[in-house]
Amino acid sequence: MKVTIDNITIEVEPGTTILQAARKIGPEVAPPAMCYYEPLKASGGKCRACLVKVTAGSEKDPRPMPKLVPSCITQVQDGMIVENTVNEQVLETRKGIVEFLLLNHPLDCPICDQAGECHLQDFSFQHGVQQTRYEEERRTFEKQDLGPNIQLHMTRCILCYRCVFTADQITGNRVHGVLNRGDHAEISTYIEKAIDNDFSGNVIDVCPVGALTDKTYRFKNRVWFTKPVDAHCDCEKCSGKVTLWYRGDEVIRVTARKNQWGEVLEFICNTCRFERKNTADWTIEGPTKVARHSVISANKYGANKIVPEFARRLAASQYKDVHEGRDTSQLNIKQLPEERFKQLIPPAGESAVAGIRSIQNWADDK
């Protein structure tokens, strides 16, 4: 069936969600996803970061949908027309979502192990506003050790439920993981109990923020100073396919491999993650392709050769590239107003380093 997203039409299988279809087109039109995680059943629908406007429900029933819909769990219909980056209401709402997610967030990026590969950093940088209007006290929690290797900073949690689904779906059969309600809800001891399990470490990889971190890697280095390398080993518990993160000759961290959306390709066991930290344990395949995270890839490819993803995504030229050569004649084309681009695009020639610096400045300002 056919679906049109931001004026680009593609053919997809029935059952595909709007988000999946948009990802097929490419990162330029893919909505941000803070809770949806393709490898985890039932994930999505919670953070509302991926809300989009459906301007025509389907070929048969071309009426627009009255509310914005979560693209990660809304299946496409034949002839559906969706607006994401070209719709002002969507962009405005998304700004609101950033503000909500950051409302009670500590933004202690300078001392957060996730900094540099944090989806919340990326999301707020791409879609947020620079200031918060929140004057009240933020909610805080005590740090908690979940077993010897995992630490929970509940204060940074955005309640995406990914770790709950992970604990549920790959580490055995449990249902709960969230205690209490509303902004006082917390990931809690249920997880702690499930954590004594060969695959528990995967909750670190699925967590989009620095709420679940690897204690064996704690404060070892900033991620953008490390070198990621794909490697494998013969493991009787998991596929043994991992990414090793080097500082000099030392393996300081082992993670699962991720796709360009930050999703784990194959979950790995705790032995591979926490105990195999010698190069001799592994067969090296080569440098990891880091497609998504601006900061990591900037280090890897050199500052001047690559434009950071977040800046590129917003560049008017790129936006036009995506739409070039497509038949948009019958479509309701809404271009973003010129001034918006002016606000969003970094000055010409700005390098990745400057981009990183602006993230840091921005974070420091908070």
Chain residues binding ligand SF4 by CB under 6 A are 105-109, 112, 114-115, 118, 120-121, 156-163, 187, 206-212
Residue 115 or 244: which CB sits closer to ligand SF4? Answer: 115
Q: How far apart are CA 358 and CA 366, in angstroms?
A: 12
Residue 82 found at the interface with ligand FES (CB under 6 A): no
| Long-range contact pairs involving 87-91 (C-beta distance under 8 Å, separation at least 24) | 87/52, 87/53, 87/334, 88/336, 89/53, 90/51, 90/52, 90/53, 91/127
103-122: contacts with another protein (CB under 8 A)? 103-104
Of 37, 161, 217, 274, which one interacts with another protein (CB under 8 A)? 161
Residues 34-93 that bind another protein (CB under 8 A): 45-49, 51, 67-68, 70, 73, 93
**Burial letters for 18-47: b for 16+ Cβ neighbours within 10 Å, e otherwise?**
bbbbbbbbebbbbbbbbbbbbbbeebbebb
Burial of 299 (0-12, 13-18, 19+ CB in 10 A): buried
Is residue 227 part of the contact set for ligand FES (CB under 6 A)? no
Smallest distance, Å, CB 286 to ligand FES? 32
Partner whose footprint covers residue 187, from another protein, ligand FES, ligand SF4, none (CB < 5 to 8 Å by kind): ligand SF4
36 binds, among ligand FES, ligand SF4, another protein, none (CB under 5 to 8 A by kind): ligand FES
Nearer to ligand SF4 (CB atom), residue 28 or residue 168: 168
Shortest CB 284 distance to ligand SF4, Å: 29
Stretch that binds another protein, among 6-14, 97-105, 307-315, 353-361 (CB under 8 A): 97-105
Instruction: Closer to ligand FES by CB, 48 or 95: give it.
Output: 48
Count of residues engaged in binding ligand FES, rule: CB under 6 A: 13
Contact between 33 and ligand FES by CB under 6 A: the answer reads: yes
